[in-house]
Copies of this chain bind each other. A is one copy, B any other.
Amino acid sequence: MFDKKDKSYPIELVAEFLGVNSRTLYYYEKFTLVCPQRRGRKRYYSKADIEWLEFVREMMYEQGMNLRSIIVLIRRRDQVIMNRCPEDVVNCFKNYLVKKVNKDLQISFEKKEGR
């Protein structure tokens, strides 16, 4: 679709391609979710910009995530956006389930044993 040589594309074209209003892309910039290159004031979106935005849209539309969550996920990978993983979200739920299952087992055991 877009040129491999990473030429830059104007906002209207990108908005159309993504199926959103160009206002939406301005809106995303407020949250530093995307930062198109500027020559003068005019914005030019690179192929990388576009791919990233496609991914964001998928997260939001297909999965129902919100803007903030995506930003939180990025931040949680640490300031440098690197190796740390939002492990705790899942671990916390995992622990929750584990405790729950243990407790439930214990309860059904108690019932069977008549304690």
Residues of A within 8 A of B (CB): 6, 35, 37, 46-49, 51-52, 55, 59, 63-66, 68-70, 72-74, 77, 81-82, 85-90, 92-97, 99-100, 103-104, 107
Contacts and interface: CB of A to CB of B under 8 A. Distances in A.
A92 B52 contact: yes
A86 B73 contact: yes
Contacts of A49: 96, 100
A94 B75 CA distance: 11
SS class, residues of chain A in contact with chain B? helix
A90 B73 contact: yes
A66 to B, nearest CB: 4
Nearest to A94: B81
